[in-house]
C-alpha cells in the first residue's frame, strides 16, 4: 500500500513493485499536492459498459480526438497540441518487436506511460460563484491531467477548482467497470449549494450558482442547475432538462429548453419562449409566486403544465398554444409529485 497525499494505492501482489518505480517522481509529487487540496465530500458514480479497458486508455492518450469527440466542450477550452515524435514511433515499433533488454529498461518504459500535471493552457476559464468558496489548487489557468498506467485517470478542466478521478476496472475482455469520483477543491466553509455543484459535475452540466448573473445571449448547458436568485439576462438560452430554482429572474427573449423544470418564485419576463414539456413548479406556494410573462408576447409552447398551489399569473393576452394547460388545479398534487424530476 502507498499513500500519495489523500490517495491510497493498493497492490494485491505478494511482491509489489514500488509505486515510485512505476510513476515519474515529479508527477507523483504534483499529484500529492493536488490531492491534499481535495475536499472531503465526494460524489461517486459507477458505470459498466461494453468495451475493453485498453480502448479507453488509448483514447485518453490520443491528443487528436478532443477536436472531434469533444468539439463543443473540452476542445473549446483546451487547444490540445498534436505532436508527432518520429523517433518515438520507430522506438515503439522496435520495443513491440523485441521487448525489453532488461528490467531497468522495462521499468523506464512503464514510467513513461504514467505522468501528468499541467497539460495545456485553458483558452478561457469561466468563473462561478462557488469558486470563491473553495481553496483552489494552484493559480495556473491550465488543464490538469494525470494518466497513471494502466487504469487511472485524474483531471481538472477547471484549473484546480474541481477534479474528476476515473478508474477503469476490467470485468472481462469485452466489459469494463468505470468508477468516477467527483470532488471540488477544499471548501473554505460549508455552503448550501455544494451538493448541487457535485451533481452538476456528474451530469456534465453547467452550474449557475445562487445569485449569479448570466449575461445577455449566453448559452446555459443541457442539464444545468440554476441557483436561487440568479439573474438570466436578455436573450439567455437555457438548455433542455435544466432545473431553474426558486427566485430566479429570466430576462426578456430568453429561451427555456424542453423538459426544463422551473422552481417556485421564478419570474419569467415578457417574450420568453418556454419549450415543450416544461413543468412550471409552484406547489407549496403561499401566494401567486410565478409570473409567466408580463405582455402578450409571452409564449408557452405545447404541452406546458403549470402546477397549482398558489396560482400562476398569466397575462390576459398570453399566447398559450392549445392544448396548453395553464391555470388552477390542472395537475393533482399527488400526480405532480411523482411526475416531477428531483434533485438529489
pLDDT tens by residue, 211-270: 455 555 555 554 455 655 565 655 566 655 565 655 566 665 566 655 565 655 565 655
Cell numbers for 8, please give them: 491510497
Residues 245 and 332 in one domain: yes
Across the chain, mean pLDDT equals 69
Least confident range of 71-80, 88-97, 164-173: 71-80
Residues 214 and 174 in one domain: no
Domain that holds residue 275: 206-336
Task: Identify the pLDDT of residue 281.
Answer: 46
Task: Identify the pLDDT of residue 188.
Answer: 95
Residues 180 and 263 in one domain: no
Percent of the chain with pLDDT over 90: 10
Asked if the model's pLDDT at residue 139 lies above 70, the reply is yes
Residues 298 and 215 in one domain: yes
Residues 223 and 273 in one domain: yes
Asked if the model's pLDDT at residue 296 lies above 90, the reply is no
**Residue whose C-alpha is closest to residue 193's, from 119, 256, 243, 142:** 243
pLDDT band at 338 (very low <50, low <70, confident <90, very high): very low
Picking from 184, 214, 233, the residue at the C-terminal end of a domain is 184
More confident residue, 152 or 321: 152
> How far from 292 is each of 58, 68, 300, CA to CA, in Å?
50, 40, 9
Q: Are 80 and 63 in contact (CB under 8 A)?
A: yes
SS3 assignment, position 79: coil
Asked if the model's pLDDT at residue 205 lies above 60, the reply is no
Determine the straight-line distance between the first and last CA of the chain, rounded to whole angstroms.
34
Residue written as grid cell 469527440: 69
The domain total for the chain is 2
User: Does 104 fall in a domain?
Assistant: no
Residues 32 and 124 in one domain: yes
Residues 166 and 212 in one domain: no
CATH classification at residue 124:
3.90.380.10
Distance (Å, rounded) from C-alpha 267 to C-alpha 292? 7
Which DSSP symbol is given to 313? Answer: B
Task: Identify the pLDDT of residue 92.
Answer: 79
Residues 33 and 178 in one domain: yes
Residues 263 and 332 in one domain: yes
Least confident range of 5-9, 40-44, 97-101, 172-176: 97-101
Residues 152 and 277 in one domain: no
User: Does 33 fall in a domain?
Assistant: yes
SS3 assignment, position 26: helix
Q: Which residues, in sequence order, are CB contacts of 279 under 8 Å at separation 6+?
A: 260, 261, 262, 304, 305, 307, 339, 340
Task: Identify the pLDDT of residue 134.
Answer: 94
Task: Identify the pLDDT of residue 307.
Answer: 43
Least confident range of 37-46, 154-163, 197-206: 197-206
Residues 125 and 259 in one domain: no
Burial of 150 (0-12, 13-18, 19+ CB in 10 A): middle
User: Does 98 fall in a domain?
Assistant: no
Picking from 154, 184, 214, the residue at the C-terminal end of a domain is 184
Percent of the chain with pLDDT over 70: 57
Residues 134 and 55 in one domain: yes
User: Does 79 fall in a domain?
Assistant: no
Distance (Å, rounded) from C-alpha 100 to C-alpha 123? 40
pLDDT tens by residue, 86-136: 887 888 788 878 777 787 887 887 787 788 878 788 887 878 888 999 999
Instruction: Read off the pTM.
Output: 0.58
Amino acid at each position: 500500500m502507498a499513500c500519495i497525499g489523500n490517495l491510497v494505492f493498493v497492490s494485491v501482489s505478494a511482491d509489489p513493485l514500488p509505486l515510485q518505480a512505476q510513476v515519474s517522481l515529479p508527477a507523483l509529487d504534483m499529484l500529492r499536492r493536488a490531492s491534499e487540496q481535495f475536499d472531503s465530500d465526494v460524489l461517486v458514480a459507477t458505470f459498466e459498459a461494453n468495451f475493453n479497458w485498453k480502448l479507453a486508455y488509448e483514447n485518453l492518450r490520443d491528443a487528436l480526438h478532443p477536436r472531434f469527440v469533444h468539439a463543443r466542450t473540452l476542445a473549446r477550452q483546451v487547444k490540445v497540441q498534436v505532436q508527432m515524435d518520429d523517433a518515438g514511433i520507430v522506438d515503439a515499433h522496435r520495443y513491440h518487436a523485441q521487448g525489453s533488454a532488461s528490467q531497468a529498461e522495462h521499468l523506464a518504459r512503464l514510467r513513461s506511460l504514467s505522468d501528468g500535471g499541467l497539460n495545456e493552457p485553458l483558452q478561457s476559464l469561466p468563473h462561478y460563484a462557488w469558486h470563491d468558496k473553495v481553496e483552489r489548487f494552484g493559480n495556473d489557468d491550465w488543464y490538469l491531467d494525470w494518466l497513471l498506467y494502466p487504469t487511472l485517470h485524474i483531471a481538472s478542466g477547471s484549473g484546480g477548482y474541481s477534479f474528476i478521478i476515473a478508474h477503469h476496472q476490467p470485468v472481462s475482455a469485452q466489459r469494463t467497470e468505470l468508477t468516477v469520483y467527483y470532488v471540488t477543491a477544499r471548501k473554505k466553509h460549508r455552503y448550501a449549494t455544494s451538493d448541487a455543484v457535485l451533481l452538476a459535475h456528474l451530469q456534465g452540466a453547467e452550474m449557475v450558482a445562487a445569485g449569479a448573473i448570466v449575461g445577455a445571449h449566453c448559452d446555459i448547458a443541457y442539464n444545468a442547475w440554476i441557483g436561487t436568485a440568479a439573474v438570466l439576462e436578455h436573450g439567455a438560452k437555457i438548455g433542455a432538462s435544466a432545473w431553474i430554482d426558486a427566485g430566479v429572474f429570466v430576462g426578456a427573449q430568453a429561451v427555456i429548453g424542453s423538459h426544463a423544470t422551473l422552481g417556485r418564485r421564478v419570474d419569467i419576463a415578457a417574450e420568453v419562449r418556454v419549450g415543450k414539456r416544461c413543468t412550471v413548479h409552484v406547489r407549496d406556494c403561499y401566494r401567486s409566486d410565478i409570473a409567466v410573462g408580463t405582455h402578450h408576447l409571452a409564449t408557452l409552447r405545447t404541452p406546458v403544465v403549470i402546477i397549482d398551489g398558489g396560482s400562476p399569473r398569466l397575462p390576459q393576452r398570453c399566447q398559450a398554444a392549445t392544448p396548453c394547460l395553464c391555470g388552477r388545479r390542472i395537475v393533482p398534487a399527488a400526480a405532480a409529485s411523482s411526475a416531477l424530476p428531483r434533485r438529489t
